[in-house]
Amino acid sequence: MGVRTTVRAIAALPPGALAAVALLLILAFPAAPAAEEGDEIEEYVETRELVVVVNRANPATSISLADLQKLFLGKRALWPNGWPVNPCDLAEPGLPEPQTSRAQFSQRYLNKDMTTLKSYWIRMIFSGKGHPPAVYPRTGQVLAHVAADEGGLGYLPRRSVTDRVKVIAVIDNTAP
Amino acid sequence: MTLYELVTTVRFWVIAVMAALSAMVSPAPAEAIDLDQLHVYGYIDLEYKQTTSDKYDRSGPDDANMKNGSFDQRHFNILADFEIVPALIVKSHVEFEHGINPGVGDASVVLEYGFVEYVAREWLKARGGKMITPYGQYNEIHDATPAYLTVTPPDTIYRSEDYGGFTFMPKWITGAAAFGNVPVFQHHHDIDYIVYIGNGESRSTINESEHDDNESKALGGRVQFTAHDESFQAGVSAYYGDRAISRARMAERHFAATAHANAAYGDFSARGEAAYSELGQWRETAWYLELSWRIGRFTPYARYETLDPDTDVSGDDWTIMLAGVNVRALDMLFLKFEWNQHDRGPANSDIITGEKDDYGEFRAALAVLF
B113-128 in b/e form (b: 16+ CB < 10 A) is bbbbbbbeebeebbbb
- What phi and psi values does residue B317 have, to the nearest 5 degrees? -65, 150
Cα–Cα distance between B281 and B289 in angstroms, integer?
Answer: 28
Cα–Cα distance between B20 and A87 in angstroms, integer?
Answer: 30
Q: Which of A125, A141, A174 to mutate to test the interface with B (most CBs of B within 10 A)?
A: A125
Give the residue from B317, B253, B323, B318 showing the smallest Cα distance to B290.
B323
Cα–Cα distance between A71 and A49 in angstroms, integer?
Answer: 21
User: Tell me: the pLDDT tens digits for B179-227?
Assistant: 999 999 877 889 999 999 999 887 766 677 887 877 788 999 999 999 9
Cα–Cα distance between B274 and B81 in angstroms, integer?
Answer: 32
DSSP letter assigned to residue A98: G
- Under the banding of pLDDT at 50, 70 and 90, the label for residue B292 is very high
Cα–Cα distance between A20 and A26 in angstroms, integer?
Answer: 10
Cα–Cα distance between A51 and A48 in angstroms, integer?
Answer: 10
Residue B321 sits at the vertex; the CA angle it makes with B320 and B322, to the nearest 5 degrees, is 115
Confidence check: pLDDT of A121 > 90: yes
pTM score of the predicted model: 0.81
- Whether chain B has a CB inside 8 Å of the CB on A67: the answer is yes
In three-state secondary structure terms, B363 is strand
Whether residue B86 and residue A84 make contact (CB cut-off 8 A), yes or no, is yes
Please report the pLDDT score of residue A35 as a whole number: 44
- Whether chain B has a CB inside 8 Å of the CB on A154: the answer is no
DSSP one-letter string for B270-296: EEEEEEEEEETTEEEEEEEEEEEE-BT
Give Cα separations from B259 to B181, B271, B363 (angstroms).
Answer: 19, 11, 28
The DSSP bridge pattern shows strands B282-293 and B298-308 to be antiparallel
User: What are the sequence ranges of the domains in chain B?
Assistant: 44-369
In A, which residues are within 8 Å of B144 by CB distance? 122-123, 126-127
- Whether chain B has a CB inside 8 Å of the CB on A125: the answer is yes
Query: How many C-beta atoms lie closer than 10 Å to residue B37's C-beta?
Result: 13
Confidence check: pLDDT of A1 > 50: no
Whether residue B119 and residue A77 make contact (CB cut-off 8 A), yes or no, is yes
3-state per-residue secondary structure call for B110-130 = EEEEEEEEEEEECCEEEEEEE
Burial class (CB in 10 A: 0-12, 13-18, 19+), B293: middle
Strand partners, B88: B85, B118
In A, which residues are within 8 Å of B186 by CB distance? 173
Give the residue from B138, B149, B142 showing the smallest Cα distance to B287.
B138
Burial class (CB in 10 A: 0-12, 13-18, 19+), A98: exposed
User: Tell me: the pLDDT tens digits for A59-83?
Assistant: 999 999 989 999 999 999 999 898 9
Tell the CATH superfamily of the B44-369 domain: Porin (2.40.160.10)
B97-111 in b/e form (b: 16+ CB < 10 A) is bbbbeeeeeebeebe
Q: For each of the domains in chain A, give its residue range(s) and CATH number, in order of start.
A: 1-30 (no CATH), 39-171 (3.40.190.10)
Whether residue A127 and residue B68 make contact (CB cut-off 8 A), yes or no, is no
DSSP letter assigned to residue A33: P
User: Tell me: the pLDDT tens digits for B237-252?
Assistant: 999 998 877 777 778 8
In A, which residues are within 8 Å of B48 by CB distance? 17, 20-21, 24
Answer whether B276's CB lies under 8 Å from B166's CB.
Answer: no
Highest mean pLDDT among A6-10, A152-156, B144-148: A152-156
Q: Which of A7, A27, A126 to mutate to test the interface with B (most CBs of B within 10 A)?
A: A126
User: Tell me: the pLDDT tens digits for A13-59?
Assistant: 656 666 656 665 655 554 444 444 567 777 777 778 999 999 999 99
Whether residue B333 and residue A28 make contact (CB cut-off 8 A), yes or no, is yes
A119-138 in b/e form (b: 16+ CB < 10 A) is bbbbbbbbbbbbbbbeebee
Please report the pLDDT score of residue A28 as a whole number: 54
Cα–Cα distance between B181 and B223 in angstroms, integer?
Answer: 9
- What phi and psi values does residue B121 have, to the nearest 5 degrees? -145, 165
Answer whether A167's CB lies under 8 Å from A51's CB.
Answer: yes
Give Cα separations from A38 to A101, A157, B93, B126 (angstroms).
Answer: 17, 19, 43, 51
In three-state secondary structure terms, B198 is strand
Q: Which of B72, B141, B181 to mutate to test the interface with A (most CBs of A within 10 A)?
A: B141
- Whether chain B has a CB inside 8 Å of the CB on A107: the answer is no
